[in-house]
Amino acid sequence: MSQSNVERVIGRLVTDEGFRRRFFEDPVAAIRQVVESGLELNACEARALISIDPLRVESFVDSLHPCIQKVELQGGST
């Protein structure tokens, strides 16, 4: 619904290891979960987010400083 919500999802995607793993396993389910948790996205925004290339995300993540990343410990949920 707004650019700020899209930015929140992208920010979470690149800084939250657990969310990123879930997104890469099933992007449709991950975006559905985000929407069900109350973050508004229109259909176009959801489709655009679902189509994000995981290899490009990983490349960007590798360039980030570790102190701004949320690490998932022992494969648990975050």
User: Is 31:50 a contact under the CB 8 Å cutoff?
Assistant: yes
What's this model's pTM, rounded to 2 decimal places? Answer: 0.81
d(CA 76, CA 27): 18
Domain residue spans in the chain?
3-68
The residues pairing with 14 across neighbouring beta strands, listed in sequence order, are none
Phi, psi values for residue 21, rounded to 5°: -60, -45
Q: What is the pLDDT along the chain (78 residues), one digit of tens a residue?
A: 589 999 999 999 999 999 999 999 999 999 999 999 999 999 999 999 999 999 999 999 999 888 877 776 665 554
Scan for tokens 């229109």, then name that residue.
Answer: 42
